[in-house]
Amino acid sequence: MTSEPTAPHILLVDDDEDFLFQHKVQLEHAGYRVTAATTRTEAEALAAEVKPDLAILDLMMEEHDDGFVLSHHLKRLLPDLPVILVTAVTAETGMSFTPTSGAERSWLAPTRCSPSRSGSSS
C-alpha cells in the first residue's frame, strides 16, 4: 500500500536501523507517510523540513538523553507536535519511569511489551 500525499506524516527516530525499517514498513502499509532518522541532529533537520504530524522517538540514542533533548527541540520548533517516546530503557539500564503524581500520569503512559512468543529468536 502506498501512502497518499495528504496522509498524516510521521517522523520516526531510532538509532536501531532494524527497528526503523520494521516500523517504517508497518506504518507505511497502514497508510502513513514516514520520514526516518537515525540521529537527533538528522531528525531536527528533517522535522524543520517536513513538519510532521507526529514524532515517534527512541529515548536513548547516541547519548542517553537524546530522546528527551530531541523532544524538547521539536516542541520548541513545532509546539503542537505530538511526541511519543519509545524505549527499552528499563531493560537496558534498570531505570523505571513510574508516574507518581497526577501531573506525571497525564503525560507519561508507560507500556510494557513482552517479547514475541512466535518462535522467532531475533
Residue 20 belongs to what domain range? 9-107
Cell triple for residue 68? 528527551
In a domain, 121, yes or no: no
C-alpha cell at 122: 531475533
Collapsing DSSP to helix, strand or coil, 48 comes out as helix
Give the end-to-end CA distance of the chain in Å, rounded to a whole number: 26
Residue 117 lies in a domain: no
The yes-or-no verdict on residue 33 having pLDDT over 80 is: yes
Domain annotation covers residue 35: yes
Q: Distance (Å, rounded) from C-alpha 6 to C-alpha 69?
A: 29
- 115 lies in some domain: no
Is the pLDDT at 85 greater than 90? The verdict is: no
Examine residue 15 and state whether it is found in any structural domain, yes or no: yes
46-52 average pLDDT score: 96
CATH number for 98: 3.40.50.2300
Q: Is 122 inside any structural domain? A: no
79: exposed, middle or buried (Cβ count in 10 Å: 0-12, 13-18, 19+):
exposed
* 12: three-class secondary structure by DSSP: strand
The pLDDT confidence band at residue 120, using thresholds 50, 70 and 90, is very low
Evaluate if residue 10 carries a pLDDT over 60. Answer: yes
Residue 53 lies in a domain: yes
Please indicate, yes or no, if residue 116 is contained in any of the structural domains. Answer: no
Maximum C-alpha span of the chain: 43
Q: What percent of the chain lies above the pLDDT cut of 70? A: 67
Report how many domains make up the chain.
1
